[in-house]
C-alpha cells in the first residue's frame, strides 16, 4: 500500500511538464538495513532518492521522509539563478553581482561575483540581492510555473523565504524539478537552463561528472541539510537527492552535520555503482 501511494505521488510529480507526455518512473524501495548505519554514523535522520533517467527507475531510502516538506535552503539557488536570468535581472551569467559593502561572516561573500562564482561559494547576500530585484510577483510566478514546492513568498520575506519560515519542498519535488532541468523541460529559455546546468558542475572524476548544490537551514533549533543534483556517467545520468536532519549543536560544533550531506551521498553513489 505504501509503495502504491508513493507510485501515484511520483506519477503526479514527474508528469508536471510542459510536454504532452511524461514518463511514469518505476519505483523501488532501498532496503533500510543497507543504509541505516550510514545515517546513524553521522547521527542524522535522512532519506535518499536516486532516479535513473535512462531506465526511468526511482529508488527511495526512507520513503516516508521523501514525502515530507522542508525548507529548501541554498538548494533554492538553482531556481533562483534561472529566475534571475529568465526575468532579465541578469542578462547573462557573466553579469556582475556587486558587493554591497556589508561585511559578512564568510570572506568569500565580501566581493563582487559573477553568477557562477556566487553559486560556487553559495553567496547568500548575492542571491538575496537577486531575489529583491526579481520581486514577489515574478518570484511567485516562476516558482509556481516550475512546480518548485510550496513557497511562502511575500514582500517582507522576499530575501529570506527559502532560508526561514513556511516555505517547503519535498525530496520528491526536488527530484522532479532536477529531472526537468536536466532535460531542459522547464518553462524557461533553453540557453538559460543550459547556463544554470553549467554553473552546477562540482567535480569531474574517472568516468563521471557531478553536478549539484548543498543547502543548510536551522529552523527552531534543528539542522536541515540537502545535497541535490545529478551525476553523468558512461552508463547514463542519475538524479540524486539527499536530505538529512538532526538537533542543532552549539555554535561551531556542527561540522559533522555539514560534512555528512555530501559524504553520505558520495558513499551511496559508490555502493550503488553509479561512480
Find all residues with CB under 8 Å of 53, minimum gap 6, and list them. 179, 182, 183, 236, 237, 238, 239
Distance separating alpha carbons of residues 254 and 161, to the nearest angstrom: 23
Distance separating alpha carbons of residues 39 and 202, to the nearest angstrom: 23
DSSP symbol at 155? G
Instruction: Please confirm, yes or no, whether 81 is among the known catalytic residues.
Output: no
Residues 11, 24 contacting (CB under 8 angstroms): yes
Catalytic residue, chosen from 37, 74, 81, 114, is 74
Distance separating alpha carbons of residues 13 and 170, to the nearest angstrom: 11
Angle at 213 (CA atoms; ends 236, 95), nearest 5 degrees: 105
Distance separating alpha carbons of residues 139 and 129, to the nearest angstrom: 13
Residues 211, 75 contacting (CB under 8 angstroms): no
Catalytically active residues are 74
Amino acid at each position: 500500500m505504501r509503495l502504491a501511494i508513493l507510485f501515484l505521488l511520483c506519477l503526479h510529480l514527474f508528469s508536471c511538464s510542459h510536454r504532452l507526455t511524461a514518463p511514469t518512473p518505476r519505483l523501488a524501495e532501498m532496503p533500510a538495513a543497507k543504509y541505516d548505519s550510514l545515517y546513524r554514523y553521522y547521527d542524522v535522520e535522512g532519506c535518499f532518492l536516486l532516479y535513473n533517467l535512462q531506465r526511468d527507475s526511482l529508488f527511495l531510502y526512507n520513503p516516508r521522509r521523501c514525502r515530507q516538506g522542508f525548507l529548501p535552503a541554498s538548494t533554492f539557488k538553482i531556481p533562483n539563478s534561472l529566475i534571475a536570468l529568465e526575468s532579465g535581472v541578469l542578462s547573462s551569467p557573466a553579469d556582475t553581482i556587486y558587493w554591497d559593502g556589508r561585511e559578512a561572516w564568510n570572506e568569500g561573500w565580501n566581493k563582487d561575483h559573477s553568477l557562477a562564482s556566487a553559486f560556487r561559494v553559495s553567496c547568500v547576500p548575492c542571491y538575496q540581492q537577486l531575489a529583491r530585484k526579481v520581486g514577489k510577483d515574478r518570484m511567485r510566478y516562476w516558482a509556481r510555473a516550475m512546480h518548485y514546492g510550496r513557497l511562502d513568498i511575500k514582500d517582507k520575506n522576499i530575501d529570506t523565504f527559502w532560508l526561514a519560515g513556511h516555505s517547503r519542498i519535498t525530496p520528491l519535488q526536488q527530484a522532479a524539478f532536477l529531472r526537468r532541468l536536466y532535460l531542459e523541460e522547464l518553462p524557461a529559455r533553453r540557453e538559460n537552463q543550459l547556463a544554470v546546468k553549467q554553473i552546477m558542475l562540482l567535480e569531474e572524476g574517472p568516468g563521471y561528472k557531478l553536478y549539484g548544490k548543498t543547502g543548510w537551514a536551522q529552523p527552531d533549533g534543528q539542522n536541515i541539510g540537502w545535497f541535490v543534483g545529478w551525476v553523468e556517467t558512461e552508463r547514463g545520468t542519475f538524479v540524486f537527492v539527499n536530505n538529512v536532519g538532526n538537533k542543532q549543536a552549539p555554535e561551531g560544533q556542527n561540522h559533522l552535520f555539514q560534512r555528512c550531506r555530501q559524504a553520505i551521498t558520495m558513499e551511496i553513489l559508490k555502493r550503488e555503482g553509479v561512480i
